[in-house]
Structure 1
Amino acid sequence: MKNNLTKALPKTYTQDQAFNASLEYFKNDDLAARVWLNKYALKDSEGNIYELTPNDMHRRIAKEIARVEQKYANPMSEEEVFDLIKNFKYIVPQGSPMAGIGNPYQIASLSNCFVIGNSGDSDSYGGIMKIDQEQVQLMKRRGGVGHDLSHIRPKGSGVKNSALTSTGIVPFMERYSNSTREVAQDGRRGALMLSVSINHPDSEDFINAKLEQGKVTGANVSVRIDDAFMRAVKNETDYTQKYPIFSSNPKTSKTIQAKDLWNKIVHNAWKSAEPGILFWDTIINESVPDCYADLGYKTVSTNPCGEIPLCPYDSCRLLAINLFSYVENPFTEKATFNFDLFKKHVAYAQRIMDNIIDLELEKIDAILQKIDADPELDEVKAVERNLWNNIKRKAEEGRRTGIGITAEGDMLAALGIQYGSEAGNAFSLEVHKTIAIEAYRASVHLAKERGAFTIFDADREKENPFIKRLKEADSKLYYEMLEYGRRNIALLTIAPTGTTSLMTQTTSGIEPVFLPVYKRRRKVNPGDKDVRVDFVDEVGDSWEEYVVFHHKFKQWMEVNGIDTTQNFSHEELDELVKKSPYYKATSNDVDWLSKVSMQGAIQKWVDHSISVTINLPNDVSEALVGELYLKAWEVGCKGVTVYRDGSRSGVLISNDDKKEEEASNTLTPFPIKRPQILEADVVRFQNNKDKWIAFIGLIDDKPYEIFTGLIDDEDGILIPRWVNNGLIIKNRNEDGTSRYDFQFKDKRGYKITIEGLSYKFNPEYWNYAKLISSTLRHGMPIDKIVDLINSLQLDTESINTWKNGVGRALKRYVADGTKAKGQTCANCNSDNLIYQEGCLTCKDCGSSKCG
């Protein structure tokens, strides 16, 4: 019996086993292997790993999709599904579906995107708090969330409570942002989009809210702009803001110069890359789901990256098709795009997406069962239960999908077409038009086999511009849709594919290549064998330089007989790039107006939206940013975001940049005598299997001291999970020695004190903590302390793990926009790294590393 039980247990792998196997799978691509292992390999809460390579993950996903297929006619087999998704070659479920499908160890949603909101225009405190709770409940299940604030009454409006007047939108932006920062999703914070209509009287305050450093750092912000405002900008005329927005009988209204507010938006976007813009009339007019607005499908906001506009309580799952894999004979004169295979696979992708909706409904049922089994009172669980019931209803009724792409840049290069050229834009348009027609055709065929989404009504949709374009492009498809309906209310998107593109080893999403080739350095240590010294720095350290090729650029070299192991000089690399199809086709080369025009043309064939960022050099003018925004509206984009190199570090703290710079180079000591009582944050984190906790004493919201160690129940560190702050109180023992106690309030408001933090942790941790606290108290900048901690050479694995935890805890207090010195991006080797919400973010390629 014991042997039978042993056989039944799933096989587990060590971190090293899984990493080495996945490293071999990805052909020594260290970054791809680590991303897959950390984010998507099946593991439990104890850190046990159950998958050795992505082959195991793809087999897990294929089994589940094939299981759903058995419910319907003409089911696909597990092998058929596996052949489509294996090796990230053709069809790639993104993010939550990849991590969650067939995962028995995590009760989480398969949806990547959610939007929430109150019915009607309720802006009561109860309604605002309900949204706050719903946001947190979704984020803990791995979802990104968006919601709109246009229903909140403007600042100074009368209210019937003790405050008498409303505080306006901005304080609630902070509330929702802080809630996002508190939620951890397997080592990452949740993602939030906040939007507001330009018609709202507080929209300027909303636009300015993120300019002050440290404010609203847990959210992306976008402004919903209507056509009337854009016409007023072009014509330099007045525009009237109202509350409620667009009301024929408003409680509040004011007339503004549209151009003045537009210039503010443009300036802030130039300065800090936010706000983004949502061209709201274009979104609503083009939206197929909004044909059912009176049935609950009125679009109110978007997900955090803007590619999925949604109604309240709807959600969407994402999948990418790897465009590079449909190029036959890539990088040769015989290169062609296999449209026949591509069309076939688009249909399979839509079918797989529809199956994933069934799997999501099972996940939601599991979440609801978990809620019912939780020991809290029903009144505590009511909001969460109602939230998931609402989401389930929308998923069942509308069956929304999110088919997108990756590798657009590599596809064009493999065909010998320059990205951003007239020919490149024309070919991309043909590809995306094909996706739209074939995905909709597949949804119609699925409706014939499985039934249409329950509220389908062809008459409601007949004047929709997107549906009209489908009718013009393929009348047979349109009339089939009239006869059988459609399985899914909306189908298409173009999302960012950061980690997906790392694993497909291609360019990201619709974007061009960032850099086809660059050089990196590795330090040469005494005694290293088979190395050469290419560079000696100012302190005498030796370095070996090596070349990193973009994967498909390397493939181009191999096709053309170029030795990829050669030690090229910078000049030789430049000459290589000039000969390649990536020449003048990088993110820094592409003409910005051409990219906007390309986005607008492709948007006509994407029923949701497109997430794309226009990267600009540092020296561009505000006028150019305004020109790009205006062009985006004119060509039919649904939204647009610009990023000017270095703009994040330009976030304002004061109006005097020079004083700010001088102040940053001056130590500002805290009080010499430690106050008896300090406010404190509680930060939890996990390193491998070990769970850690940090108590960070604060003065003026700045770290003053830190106590960090393992959470060890036997030693009495029993802090409830919901406790995120409290007080650190300095007291004395009977023998006169000092101790530090932690005090918090329970849910009834009673004070609970844990005595002697210094006795609860390993003495070695405590000694290092005193050293780090001393540097904090003398005003050393937090980013410099993090650098100091990272540079410590410690003896044991446990103390190094502790060191990493302290660094992670303190990073969250580094001011957004602070440049990280002496570090390079693991993705593109740039040294242009800044701190953003406690994470190191590359300003060149956008990749982010937390922890």
Structure 2
Amino acid sequence: MNVDSLPIQRKTYTQDEAFEAALKYFKGDDLAARVWLNKYALKDSDGNIYELTPNDMHRRIAKEIARIEVRYPNPLSEEEIFDLIKDFKYIVPQGSPMAGIGNPFQIASLSNCFVIGNSGDSDSYGGIMKIDQEQVQLMKRRGGVGHDLSHIRPKGSPVKNSALTSTGIVPFMERYSNSTREVAQDGRRGALMLSVSVNHPDSEDFIDAKLEQGKVTGANVSVRIDDEFMKAVKLNGEYTQKYPIFSDNPKFTKTIQADGIWKKIVHNAWKSAEPGILFWDTIINESVPDCYSDFGYKTVSTNPCGEIPLCPYDSCRLLAINLFSYVDKPFTKDASFNFEKFSKHIAVAQRIMDDIIDLELEKIDGILAKIAADPELDVVKATEKQLWENIKHKAEEGRRTGIGITAEGDMLAALGIRYGSKEGNAFSVEVHKKLAIEAYRASVYTAKDRGAFGVYDSELEKNNPFIQRLKEADSKLYYDMLEYGRRNIALLTIAPTGTTSLMTQTSSGIEPVFMPVYKRRRKVNPNDKNVRVDFVDEVGDSWEEYVVFHHRFKEWMEVNGLDLSKNYSQEEIDALIKKSPYYKATSNDVDWLSKVSMQGAVQKWVDHSISVTINLPNDVSEDLVGQLYLKAWEVGCKGVTVYRDGSRAGVLISNDEKKEEENIDMLTTFPTKRPHTLEADVVRFQNNKEKWIAFIGLIDDKPYEVFTGLTDDEDGILIPRWVNEGLIIKNKNEDGTTRYDFQYQNKRGYKTTIEGLSHKFNPEFWNYAKLISSTLRHGMPIDKIVDLINSLQLDSESINTWKNGVVRALKRFVADGTHAKGQTCSNCDSENLIYQEGCLTCKDCGSSKCG
């Protein structure tokens, strides 16, 4: 029996109780404790918390996996499973499996990602709307979604409706993007990938859509690039676009210079970090599932982060293996990687992944039961019902899994190997080769006990390059697979591990360490005993500076007898890093071409794909981005994304501005008329002992207006502290004057409205707010507005306090990487200051000033 269906009588904990217990569990790591508590601790819709520490979560997961295990021969016990997943040490279910396994309070999928699509590549309006509805239905169940737009006919094509001609791809990009922004997923937005083939005649419009329109803010975008196009780029030749794409009898063709569209892709990626590139021929040729394309497993797009190429209605669940935990005697001269333990744990991890598929099938049955019980008419529910039936069929038949890793950077450092070196790249390949072989071996042995996936046919995949590499590496594995089949159609991936790595307290995924040591400031009460005040900010708040060590760097220090309690100067920090195995091995140090080469070599042993970003400094040229993309194709990467420091700032421009984009600053384009309703962020802050609150009206996640003032418990204008977003609605009073109301959703799902923000705050504050909102609405860059407000000479002390509060609220929206001109670092006097998450960070010494 599924425990999710049983009545729950459990002990509950307060937020404070659970946070304090989690903080102790994570040894004082505030961020890890909060991430676990907010995202993964078991809680109901009323906010009741049922787990005190991650051990409770791990026990919940172990019980459920053990429940599935007893269905099959030689079952793993609950304790065996718990010992491998506890403390995030070895095996870590990622995201949806961690939150959803054994969770009776959510009717949600355990899949991290899905791809959807129309049968026969239909581009009818009905087919396009069906995809829109399917996308929303998946996102409300917590899944990230990808789909391809290459089936949509080009702009200007004849259609048999009142429009007479097609509008092309871009309007539908906006529709799908807006749908993503409308769906909330447990406090976060949905994730969407939109892709299109470079062979499509509208691909250039697709490439420009996010840069020019400023509307496709709810989606990642990637271009599917084929080998013929890449060869044309290298030879500076022509390339023929077609609709339908790659058709032998196209309805439309267009011959272009390949280099022209290539330069546009490179330029836009250099400027805005998008589009990403998918090397589509490499993906299809290497894909094991595509050997079964006649059975519906033809890959059409990827999940939002690009690590799982999928066919329509297939899905995948993710799990990471913590590589650092397989280093014996880390950071010593005797350090070694325990391949024997690693191999044993891979086998168990793959088995657990197969169990999670059974748990997912139960979850889908629950979703289908919920749909059946809903009071809507069957015709209304038909698309959702068919969607989940399709997903269930693919999960049951193909049994796709997604085993990956985290802590690659820390593993290499613990072994004394520099990330990005030839030795480092070679060792990484060895580890990933072992992971591939042992995961496939486990899938074969699981098939012996449980049966092969539904359409397994060794003849169909015998010529697949990945299968051929396995055969060459381990012939016994290959011939065992011929005899017993394989339990899972595809097995491996390397996904982003953002929150996972926070809880494993390691470097993220396949990436190097970002920074091993940096300085932070925390606000202190100067009147407290034994407090050290290192800095007083412009509003009079006192701050203490402290050094933050990356967890595994701290372990290196302990192994080498270095003092962790000392308050190190920047010179001493630099000297520490230079002695450590992290020296010249951070994300800013690693040679970019070496990283691309490493990705291509590792990709040979990953049957899905790898999510990795090449981080570049702000001053790199577009030519270098083009070289990296070309190198990635040549070494066999399936996809690549670059991020140039600060490139997200100021990328939204109008079509008129595009003509002068090389000569003027890029400004945000807003509608000329204030919309009736705006999404809003709520920002709280304290100046001295006064409590303040700001309501920031947003368009496309950019500040459009700001209302700020003192909060007052007695007058009842405080909103609950858990409210951090809502809507600002422009309404009319009875006398015809305008008022602005704030509306939020309470924990029971009802809407609560605070009427008349303009009447709640001091009129003088309100008048200044209107002036500042005007500068926001006319596209003045936020960092310039911050400078403008700071420069105001105001006599009233309360107005100056208000001014500082507005600055503090708006700094949160300054694009990361924006340089702060005219300011110097209080730690080292450097003028090389940039905004990072609302704080001014010195790029020279790492010191950060918030507030």
Which residue number in structure 2 is paired with residue 485 of structure 1?
485
- Cα drift, residue 603 of structure 1: 0.3
Instruction: Check conservation: 1:140, 1:183, Cα contact below 8 A.
Output: yes
Which residue number in structure 1 is paired with residue 400 of structure 2?
400
- Say if 1:696 and 1:332 are closer, same or farther in 2 by CA, change over 3 A: closer
Instruction: Check conservation: 2:680, 2:698, Cα contact below 8 A.
Output: no
Which residue number in structure 2 is paired with residue 276 of structure 1?
276
Instruction: Check conservation: 1:145, 1:304, Cα contact below 8 A.
Output: yes
- Cα drift, residue 761 of structure 1: 3.3
2:316 pairs with 1:321: no
Listed as ranges, the matches of 1:614-763 within 5 Å are 614-653=614-653, 654-655=657-658, 656=660, 661=665, 679-681=676-678, 728-732=730-734, 761=754
Q: Which secondary structure state, in structure 1, belongs to the residue aligned with residue 61 of structure 2?
A: helix
What TM-score, normalized to structure 1? Answer: 0.84
- Say if 1:815 and 1:198 are closer, same or farther in 2 by CA, change over 3 A: farther
Instruction: Check conservation: 2:238, 2:255, Cα contact below 8 A.
Output: yes
Letter in 2 for 1:221: V
Distance in structure 1 (CA, Å) of the matches to 2:338 and 2:569:
37
2:352 pairs with 1:352: yes
Q: Which secondary structure state, in structure 1, belongs to the residue aligned with residue 66 of structure 2?
A: helix
Runs of 4+ displaced beyond 6 Å: 668-671, 682-687, 694-699, 704-709, 724-727, 739-742, 762-765, 769-773, 784-788, 810-818, 839-844
Which residue number in structure 1 is paired with residue 239 of structure 2?
239
Listed as ranges, the matches of 1:198-597 within 5 Å are 198-212=198-212, 214-536=214-536, 542-597=542-597
Instruction: Check conservation: 2:730, 2:738, Cα contact below 8 A.
Output: no
1:218-249 per-residue CA deviation (whole Å, 9 max, x = no partner) reads 10000000000000001111000000000011
Q: Which secondary structure state, in structure 1, belongs to the residue aligned with residue 299 of structure 2?
A: coil
Q: Which secondary structure state, in structure 1, belongs to the residue aligned with residue 28 of structure 2?
A: coil
Distance in structure 1 (CA, Å) of the matches to 2:574 and 2:397:
55
Instruction: Check conservation: 2:681, 2:696, Cα contact below 8 A.
Output: no
Letter in 2 for 1:398: G
- Listed as ranges, the gaps of 5+ residues in structure 2 are 1-6, 685-694, 712-725, 744-749, 791-801, 826-831, 844-851
- Listed as ranges, the gaps of 5+ residues in structure 1 are 1-6, 688-693, 710-723, 745-753, 792-802, 825-829, 845-851
- Say if 1:617 and 1:683 are closer, same or farther in 2 by CA, change over 3 A: closer
- Say if 1:292 and 1:685 are closer, same or farther in 2 by CA, change over 3 A: farther
- Cα drift, residue 383 of structure 1: 0.7
Q: Which secondary structure state, in structure 2, belongs to the residue aligned with residue 126 of structure 1?
A: helix
1:740-796 per-residue CA deviation (whole Å, 9 max, x = no partner) reads 699x9xxxxxxxxx9xx9x963788951398887556431427689999x99xxxxx
Instruction: Check conservation: 2:646, 2:818, Cα contact below 8 A.
Output: no
- Say if 1:562 and 1:707 are closer, same or farther in 2 by CA, change over 3 A: closer
Distance in structure 2 (CA, Å) of the matches to 1:678 and 1:288:
49
- Cα drift, residue 260 of structure 1: 1.1
Instruction: Check conservation: 2:327, 2:335, Cα contact below 8 A.
Output: yes
Listed as ranges, the matches of 1:17-56 within 5 Å are 17-56=17-56
- Say if 1:831 and 1:18 are closer, same or farther in 2 by CA, change over 3 A: farther
2:98 pairs with 1:94: no
Distance in structure 2 (CA, Å) of the matches to 1:151 and 1:843:
48
Instruction: Check conservation: 1:818, 1:834, Cα contact below 8 A.
Output: yes
Q: Count residues with an aligned counterpart.
A: 775
1:512-540 per-residue CA deviation (whole Å, 9 max, x = no partner) reads 00011011122343302212233455776
- Cα drift, residue 679 of structure 1: 2.7
Instruction: Check conservation: 1:326, 1:339, Cα contact below 8 A.
Output: yes
Distance in structure 2 (CA, Å) of the matches to 1:596 and 1:697:
37
Which residue number in structure 2 is paired with residue 9 of structure 1?
9
Distance in structure 2 (CA, Å) of the matches to 1:576 and 1:640:
33
- Cα drift, residue 730 of structure 1: 1.8
Distance in structure 1 (CA, Å) of the matches to 2:754 and 2:400:
50
Letter in 1 for 2:141: R
Instruction: Check conservation: 1:670, 1:777, Cα contact below 8 A.
Output: no
Which residue number in structure 1 is paired with residue 776 of structure 2?
781
| Greater CA drift, 607-616 or 563-572 | 563-572
Which residue number in structure 1 is paired with residue 77 of structure 2?
77
1:135-188 per-residue CA deviation (whole Å, 9 max, x = no partner) reads 111111110000000000011111111111111101111111111111111111
Letter in 1 for 2:428: S
Which residue number in structure 1 is paired with residue 151 of structure 2?
151
Instruction: Check conservation: 1:680, 1:696, Cα contact below 8 A.
Output: no
- Say if 1:817 and 1:212 are closer, same or farther in 2 by CA, change over 3 A: farther
- Cα drift, residue 575 of structure 1: 1.0
Distance in structure 1 (CA, Å) of the matches to 2:384 and 2:361:
16
Letter in 1 for 2:122: S
Distance in structure 2 (CA, Å) of the matches to 1:445 and 1:842:
52
Aligned alpha-carbon RMSD (Å): 3.9
Q: Which secondary structure state, in structure 2, belongs to the residue aligned with residue 52 of structure 1?
A: coil
Letter in 1 for 2:732: K
Instruction: Check conservation: 1:213, 1:651, Cα contact below 8 A.
Output: no
Letter in 2 for 1:679: H
- Say if 1:13 and 1:831 are closer, same or farther in 2 by CA, change over 3 A: farther
Distance in structure 1 (CA, Å) of the matches to 2:667 and 2:256:
37
Distance in structure 2 (CA, Å) of the matches to 1:841 and 1:146:
36
- Cα drift, residue 610 of structure 1: 0.3
- Cα drift, residue 543 of structure 1: 3.3
- Say if 1:244 and 1:773 are closer, same or farther in 2 by CA, change over 3 A: farther
- Say if 1:643 and 1:663 are closer, same or farther in 2 by CA, change over 3 A: closer
- Say if 1:842 and 1:199 are closer, same or farther in 2 by CA, change over 3 A: farther
Distance in structure 2 (CA, Å) of the matches to 1:698 and 1:503:
33
Distance in structure 2 (CA, Å) of the matches to 1:645 and 1:638:
23
Distance in structure 2 (CA, Å) of the matches to 1:115 and 1:25:
37
Which residue number in structure 2 is paired with residue 160 of structure 1?
160
1:104-152 per-residue CA deviation (whole Å, 9 max, x = no partner) reads 0111110001000001121111111111111111111110000000000
Instruction: Check conservation: 1:493, 1:607, Cα contact below 8 A.
Output: yes
Instruction: Check conservation: 1:65, 1:78, Cα contact below 8 A.
Output: yes
- Say if 1:299 and 1:419 are closer, same or farther in 2 by CA, change over 3 A: same
Instruction: Check conservation: 1:346, 1:439, Cα contact below 8 A.
Output: yes
Which residue number in structure 2 is paired with residue 748 of structure 1?
none
- Say if 1:590 and 1:362 are closer, same or farther in 2 by CA, change over 3 A: same
Letter in 2 for 1:351: R
- Say if 1:462 and 1:833 are closer, same or farther in 2 by CA, change over 3 A: farther
1:583-631 per-residue CA deviation (whole Å, 9 max, x = no partner) reads 1100011111110000000000000000000011111111111111000
- Cα drift, residue 685 of structure 1: 9.8
Q: Which secondary structure state, in structure 2, belongs to the residue aligned with residue 18 of structure 1?
A: helix
Distance in structure 2 (CA, Å) of the matches to 1:697 and 1:471:
55
- Cα drift, residue 843 of structure 1: 13
Distance in structure 2 (CA, Å) of the matches to 1:139 and 1:841:
35
- Cα drift, residue 703 of structure 1: 5.1
Distance in structure 2 (CA, Å) of the matches to 1:57 and 1:186:
18
Letter in 2 for 1:521: R
Instruction: Check conservation: 1:134, 1:384, Cα contact below 8 A.
Output: yes
Which residue number in structure 1 is paired with residue 829 of structure 2?
none
Letter in 2 for 1:592: W
- Say if 1:397 and 1:785 are closer, same or farther in 2 by CA, change over 3 A: farther
